[in-house]
Structure 1
Amino acid sequence: MTLTPVPDADGAPFWEYARRGELRVQTCADCGEPRFPPRPCCPHCRSFAAEWRPTDGRGRVWSYVVPHPPLLPAYAEQAPYTVVVVELDDAPRVRLVGNLVAAAGARLDSVPRERIRIGARVRAVFTEAGLPQWVLERP
């Protein structure tokens, strides 16, 4: 059994859009600043007004890690695998964490570690359950 999201009231819309294959980011309806993780109040202007804006799902690898060893048994058979932090192109203050895979729903170990670079261009894809993952734009 692998981990699944446990949405709270603030983050539930993120997961609902993801189940539809959409990457959206909570954005302040007053000052326009995107924010992640979702929260009730804008850290920039302190407004409680928010909306969910679509992103194009593209970005760059800002950082990454290869867990050794995986802490959960369900992940051990796919180790080593890569977890990336992605800075979004159209919301550069937003950085999302996810697995780098060869295609949506592929095994977590489907991208060889020697292909991973800081700054590599990636785009979001989604598992059948709506979990965002990342694929290299130049496989």
Structure 2
Amino acid sequence: MADRDSAQWWEALRRHEFVVQGCADCGRLRFPSRAYCAGCRSRSWRWQAVEPLARIESWIVTRGHTVVMVRLEAAADCVLYGHWRQPRAPRPGEQVHVAYEDADDVTVIEWRPGNTLAGGRGWN
């Protein structure tokens, strides 16, 4: 699952830290992680925390599991996927927040409706 460019992201996720790559030269945020910036072609970057809030773009149901595709509100170029375990179908454009699912050797993302973080805390 983890590769050279994404290993640090998976490590941050395991600590329940929500980060994306940011170009050290032009500041453009990106996800998934890459070796260089699509904007200025710089190879300098750092991981930075962003609000784990997003809007649903699309979803797919496969083998009884719903996977949503979301676009981060803090970084419109960043599109991520995650589980949807709600009793109802997701809605296009719906605001969601991240929840972390810890498995034996990996942490994955579950997206939940609304703008409150898991544990009942608001982001701010």
TM-score using structure 2 length = 0.85
Q: Which runs of 4+ in 1 moved over 3 A?
A: none
1:121 and 2:95 correspond:
yes
Long gaps (5+) in structure 2: 116-124
Going by fraction, where is strand more abundant, 1 or 2?
Answer: 2
Select the structure of larger CA radius of gyration.
1
1:137 and 2:121 correspond:
no
- Structure 1 residue matching 2:2: 3-state secondary structure: coil
The count of corresponding residues between Structure 1 and Structure 2 is 113
Structure 1 counterpart of 2:70, from 71, 79, 86: 86
- Structure 1 residue matching 2:32: 3-state secondary structure: coil
Long gaps (5+) in structure 1: 1-5, 71-78, 102-110
Q: Sequence identity of aligned pairs in percent? A: 38
Structure 1, residues 39-67: CA drift from partner, whole Å, max 9, x if none?
A: 11111101000011111100110111112
Q: Which has the higher contact order (CA 8 A, sep 6+)?
A: 1
What is the CA RMSD across the aligned residues, in angstroms?
A: 1.6
For 1:11-50, list aligned pairs within 5 A: 11-50=6-45
Structure 1, residues 47-104: CA drift from partner, whole Å, max 9, x if none?
A: 000011111100110111112xx2xxxxxxxx2x211011101011101011112xxx
Structure 1, residues 13-56: CA drift from partner, whole Å, max 9, x if none?
A: 11010000011001111001111111111111010000111111
The answer on whether the counterparts of 1:82 and 1:113 sit within 8 Å (CA) in structure 2 is no
